[in-house]
Structure 1
Amino acid sequence: MNAQPPPSSEDTMPVSRRTIGPYVPVRRLGEGGMGIVYLAHDAAGRQVAVKVMRPELASQEQFRSRFRKEAEAAKRVARFCTAPLLDAGLDGEQAYLVTEYVDGPDLSSVIEAQGPMGGSNLDALAVGVATALAAIHRAGVVHRDLKPSNILLAPVGPRVIDFGIAQLADTLAEQTGTVIGTPSYMSPEQARGEAVTAAADVFAWGCVVVYAGTGRSPFGGGTTPEVLFRVAHHVPDLRGLDERLRPLVERALDKDPERRPSAQELLDRLLGREEVAVEAATRIVSEAWTSPDPDRTGAVAAPGTVGLAHEAGRTSLAEGVSRRRWLPAALAGAVAVIVAAGAVIVFQQFGGGRSETPDGPLATRDQQISGIPLKATVDAATRQGTAVSVWLTVKVTGAKSWWPSDLFGDEASKVSLIDPPSGSKFSPASKDGACLCTSLPKQWLKSGDSLSLYASYSGVPDDVEKIGVDVPGFGLIPDIPISEG
């Protein structure tokens, strides 16, 4: 394990060099096992975070070779829920990495200061980190040290950092005999010294979600050997974790890496869709991530990290939480999150007559939810001016009975229409404070039973001829033609 230095009290520590490559340091953010991190300006005057590697490492040919290789791989990571690597270089005996500067506290600081998060806040975090891992893994990179201090909470959502130096740390490990990684977030295969793959990051994702939702690691604390033994041999402690997320977290924390879902599968299950694009997931998280009223923000005396500074020291939360306290209260309306074993989103139902289409349904989709096979059918979508009405059917196709409220809630007000070209989202209209939709019956549906759903939407532009219907649990059903009613 890399030793973490104590927080520095010198937020404006003078720098010893006028430039680092083409970058002008502004102030030192801190120092860690791999090097020093600076807040700097690029040639255009934009803020960036520059990590300068330790001179004794950078002077070694083995390290420099790994540095070039890992930097090129990290540059391929798309900037979806990550702090992207912008540049890497060698300046004499100095090797440096440059990332986008993220103005926000790290997850561990927020949890320490405000306690565990829950509900839609936790959902958005789980989606954002899974999105980042999907982008990282797509580039052929394994993070290897995902942990709360490597997740920054920016105004537009969570951002995963430090995915470009994992392999570089091997040089330090070989020299010092230290364990690379943080024990509480390491996978069993890492604890055993086995080969590390993307599955290790998925395991760490599960640990991070447990920490965010409960305020503690699923494998407890103590000495490094104690924690690693529990990681390798004990079941995780998931007490207090949101039951809707628990089944997916349990799969991510499987001792066998072959049985864990991939990061893309995490994302698909969380959003209830098939092959969710990281671009779309990033947009969903960013649109959902709301900054609360500054008047509600209180000063919080807790450390936070900025940019790459998680390893390199800490800054005051005056730069993070105290200025933009991370407690978005209206997140659920924008993040459509569902987990296989239970609904995270509330899907409300409408009571209304269903319009029959002579040529059959417009679209169907099969999905297994909480182990129960279901089929969603879009039966009709009709327009009267800028008002669009949609009729849906959900049928129980498996042998088990199903309680619709587990997935939809009391009514279907959260079934949305999406106009893909513009990205516009339409929620059901309301009248006299009530949703123009059918209330959900409180009863079990047996095998073969069907549930009819109806919703009316206003303000859909006249030139929209096809619409996407976003059904919780089933995801976005695209290209539904709208006919004149």
Structure 2
Amino acid sequence: MSPLEPLQPTDPPRIGPYTLLGRLGAGGMGAVYLGRSSGGRTVAVKLVRPELAADAGFRARFRAEVTSARAASGAFTAPVVDADPDGPVPWMATAYVPGVSLGRAVALGGPLPEHALRALAAGIAEALKSIHAAGLTHRDLKPGNVLLALDGPHIIDFGIARAADGTALTATGMILGTPAYMSPEQATAGEVGPPSDVFSLGATLAFAASGSSPFEGGTPLDVLQRVVREEPDLAAVPDGLRLLVAACLAKAPADRPTPRQVVGYAQQGAAPRTSGPWLPPALTAAIEEAAAVMAPSVAPA
């Protein structure tokens, strides 16, 4: 199944200098399109919903997202190539990463094997090193925000990233994020920093190994209570990675490893990636299909 859906009648044919070829996804905040410049550059264009563009608070948050995404550009993030957060309808274009989300990958092929989990852990942790070095905390790391590409995993969506100076664009005490992948301090509206992303990494790895978050089930409040009070069930995580995932999911931020330590642990006992794909054949095929939309022969929908 191609990741590209046809444009809808209400979609614009063009955003900025980019002709739109189809939809990559949509959510409550807006839609993401595949776009192409006249020079042939393929990008993912995020366009906010017109009614939200009139909301000064939302526009400020979107402007902050653009700033955060620019600052966090690294080998395993999607770099911003263009943006107009102050236009009539704000938009942002990032380099198109041909891949499938971790959530879709597990739905397609089931839990990942251990060698792929090690590569996933190391790749996400490397991305977090770049994000944290830029003074940011992602705050919404989850399977839907991890794209699996041929060269490894990429972190996307900096919609609720927060700078280290603590600048807040939301009301004090407001909880933002995805309950099953939040850290305990995030779930209780406490002080959130880089260790929170490491907790989310642990929950994301547990999902990749089992097909579900170790805290899922019931209402969002039930999930948050488990995140804060209960130990996760990691029985489905391979023995060689269970200690790493458990350490990432430590309740106290100071007890979690750093991204650099995660990379080192994930590489222990792993075969060097010198040739061959890091993912099972079905997922490699899905990624190659996602890459096919970059061909100039793709016509506007």
**TM-score in same-fold range (> 0.5):** yes
* Distance change (3 Å), C-alpha of 1:76 and 1:244: same
* Distance change (3 Å), C-alpha of 1:10 and 1:48: closer
**Counterparts of 2:4 and 2:65 in 1: how far apart (Å)?**
32
Partner letter of residue 181 of structure 2? Y
Partner letter of residue 159 of structure 1? H
Contact 2:73 2:80 in 1 (8 A): no
SS of the residue corresponding to residue 32 of structure 2 reads strand
Following TM superposition, by how much is the alpha carbon of 1:77 offset from its aligned partner in structure 2, in angstroms?
1.9
Following TM superposition, by how much is the alpha carbon of 1:125 offset from its aligned partner in structure 2, in angstroms?
1.0
Name the counterpart of 1:95.
90
Following TM superposition, by how much is the alpha carbon of 1:91 offset from its aligned partner in structure 2, in angstroms?
5.8
Contact 1:127 1:267 in 2 (8 A): yes
Per-residue CA deviations over 1:360-389 (Å, capped at 9, x if unaligned) read: xxxxxxxxxxxxxxxxxxxxxxxxxxxxxx
Following TM superposition, by how much is the alpha carbon of 1:130 offset from its aligned partner in structure 2, in angstroms?
0.9
Name the counterpart of 1:228.
224
Contact 2:85 2:92 in 1 (8 A): no
Q: How does 1:264-275 map to 2 (within 5 A)?
A: 264-271=260-267
Aligned counterpart for 2:199 among listed residues 177, 190, 203: 203
Following TM superposition, by how much is the alpha carbon of 1:183 offset from its aligned partner in structure 2, in angstroms?
1.0
* Distance change (3 Å), C-alpha of 1:259 and 1:288: farther
Partner letter of residue 22 of structure 1? P
- Report which of the two structures shows the higher radius of gyration computed on alpha carbons: 1
Partner letter of residue 34 of structure 1? M
Aligned counterpart for 2:237 among listed residues 199, 217, 241: 241
Contact 1:49 1:100 in 2 (8 A): yes
Name the counterpart of 1:146.
141
Aligned counterpart for 1:133 among listed residues 128, 135, 143: 128
**Counterparts of 2:10 and 2:98 in 1: how far apart (Å)?**
21
Contact 2:61 2:159 in 1 (8 A): no
CA-based RMSD of the aligned residues comes to 3.1
SS of the residue corresponding to residue 83 of structure 1 reads coil
Partner letter of residue 88 of structure 2? E
Matched, 1:13 2:8: yes
SS of the residue corresponding to residue 132 of structure 2 reads helix
Partner letter of residue 256 of structure 2? R
Identity of counterpart residues, as a percentage?
43
Name the counterpart of 2:253.
257
Following TM superposition, by how much is the alpha carbon of 1:43 offset from its aligned partner in structure 2, in angstroms?
4.0
Partner letter of residue 195 of structure 1? E
Aligned counterpart for 2:46 among listed residues 48, 51, 68: 51
**Counterparts of 1:241 and 1:95 in 2: how far apart (Å)?**
41
Partner letter of residue 238 of structure 2? D
**Counterparts of 1:9 and 1:103 in 2: how far apart (Å)?**
11
Per-residue CA deviations over 1:80-115 (Å, capped at 9, x if unaligned) read: 122222222136321112111122211111212221
Contact 1:66 1:167 in 2 (8 A): no
Deviates more, 1:84-93 or 1:148-157: 84-93
Contact 1:213 1:241 in 2 (8 A): yes
Following TM superposition, by how much is the alpha carbon of 1:149 offset from its aligned partner in structure 2, in angstroms?
1.2
Contact 2:175 2:186 in 1 (8 A): no
**Counterparts of 2:13 and 2:273 in 1: how far apart (Å)?**
39
Partner letter of residue 209 of structure 1? L
Name the counterpart of 2:111.
116
**Counterparts of 1:285 and 1:182 in 2: how far apart (Å)?**
32
**Counterparts of 1:113 and 1:129 in 2: how far apart (Å)?**
21
Q: TM-score, normalised by structure 2?
A: 0.81
Partner letter of residue 136 of structure 1? I
Following TM superposition, by how much is the alpha carbon of 1:54 offset from its aligned partner in structure 2, in angstroms?
2.8
**Counterparts of 2:92 and 2:102 in 1: how far apart (Å)?**
22
- Structure with bigger strand share is 1
Matched, 1:30 2:15: no
Contiguous gaps of at least 5 residues in structure 2? 291-301
* Distance change (3 Å), C-alpha of 1:188 and 1:16: same
Q: How does 1:16-415 map to 2 (within 5 A)?
A: 16-90=11-85, 92-163=87-158, 165-166=160-161, 179-271=175-267, 289-290=277-278, 297=282, 320=286, 323=289
Contiguous gaps of at least 5 residues in structure 1? 1-7, 273-283, 298-316, 325-485
SS of the residue corresponding to residue 244 of structure 1 reads helix
Deviates more, 1:199-208 or 1:189-198: 189-198
Give the count of matched residue pairs.
281
Name the counterpart of 1:456.
none
**Counterparts of 2:288 and 2:104 in 1: how far apart (Å)?**
11
Contact 1:134 1:264 in 2 (8 A): yes
Contact 1:50 1:98 in 2 (8 A): yes
Contact 2:31 2:49 in 1 (8 A): yes
Q: TM-score, normalised by structure 1?
A: 0.52
Partner letter of residue 154 of structure 1? A
Contact 1:205 1:252 in 2 (8 A): yes
**Counterparts of 2:110 and 2:285 in 1: how far apart (Å)?**
19
**Counterparts of 2:155 and 2:105 in 1: how far apart (Å)?**
15
Contact 2:112 2:209 in 1 (8 A): yes
